[in-house]
Chains A and B, each alone.
Chain A
């Protein structure tokens, strides 16, 4: 469902040209739980950003469900991001001024759907995340794990084609991390495609496939066998 052909990304750092990504080709199949690993600076996040339409490649092509993500306008890219992609970040990136349920509703609100119509779904999602009691809390009143679960609910509300997670547990302790991974693993079991950047092999072990990047290029691609049964 996601196809990357010879994607490259370079940018200028001062006068120096930096290749964040070189000639990466990759196919991600629907239902996969792909982990992207690699040392820092290897281009993991850059690749994730390209897949999620946060950024565009300077060379090469990216398709999501056959539609290009490269060479389209910012508004078109933004709409794909809004409708087809769900993001989970290391630092949760919830808006501190909004309550949990408002944060979850955000992507659909941006779509112009009235809050009252989204809220039941958001509450349901939060309940599934075990946050039924915390819907009206603000991020500062939540623990790290709770914040990340709100972020997952937010990512899921649009029923995205792909869920992207960038070091989703980088800021959480092992136990809390495990809860988050179990959530992701459950989602994947139900068919959700997930792409996750991580440096934690324990996290990657939840997935179905691990790729390793080195210096912006694809170094390893390991299939881990079937999803948990």
Chain B
């Protein structure tokens, strides 16, 4: 759903052909979203069918014509409406780690507690990478889209932090309940 609006958003700024669209997409949201060309083109086809985008052909030497995509009036309206509507769906609770929890050994909390620590360390390292990238971003603030990139990294950091906090709570609760049993 959001891929559709991301592409509308990119085309709202500038008319682009498919390849340029992919680069721009990667630059803006690639941090947490990667799409292949197939996905890009199938989405463009869908958008054209809904009359949200249209394309012009541009002739090239020795190669097939390039399709230059642009947003339609309907597309622009729909984009604006989407931009002004809050997101209703919050983050999914479904998590791989949670599935591991479901199947943990209820008699011996040792392995799961070890896992929690490893997971936390993993998150910390991830946060460290994000932070380092943010710090280097900060050093070249002239870069056009550094703000959104930074905000995106912040989001990642906050999510990771939340995960670490949740894992800490898990460990503490597991210890408290299972510690009693043993």
Touching in the complex, A and B, CB below 8 A? Answer: yes
Give the residues in chain A near B121, CB-CB below 8 Å: 220, 222
- Are A228 and B124 neighbours in the complex by a CB distance under 8 Å? no
Measured CA separation A227–B129 after assembly (Å):
10
- Are B136 and A229 neighbours in the complex by a CB distance under 8 Å? yes
B132 at the binding interface (Cβ < 8 Å): yes
Give the residues in chain A near B172, CB-CB below 8 Å: 39
Return B157 CB to nearest CB of chain A, in Å.
5
Give the residues in chain B near A227, CB-CB below 8 Å: 132
- Interface SS of chain B: helix, strand, loop or mixed? helix
- Are B136 and A201 neighbours in the complex by a CB distance under 8 Å? no
- Are A201 and B124 neighbours in the complex by a CB distance under 8 Å? yes
- Interface SS of chain A: helix, strand, loop or mixed? loop
- Are A224 and B138 neighbours in the complex by a CB distance under 8 Å? no
Measured CA separation A224–B127 after assembly (Å):
9
A182 at the binding interface (Cβ < 8 Å): yes
- Are A205 and B131 neighbours in the complex by a CB distance under 8 Å? yes
Return B79 CB to nearest CB of chain A, in Å.
29
Given the interface pairs A201-B160, A205-B157, the reply to whether A222 lies near B127 with Cβ below 8 Å is no
- Are B161 and A202 neighbours in the complex by a CB distance under 8 Å? yes
Query: Chain B: residues with CB nearer than 8 A to chain A?
Result: 117, 120-121, 123-125, 127-132, 135-136, 138, 157-158, 160-161, 164-165, 168, 172
Query: Chain A: residues with CB nearer than 8 A to chain B?
Result: 39, 182, 185, 200-202, 204-207, 210, 220, 222, 224-225, 227-229
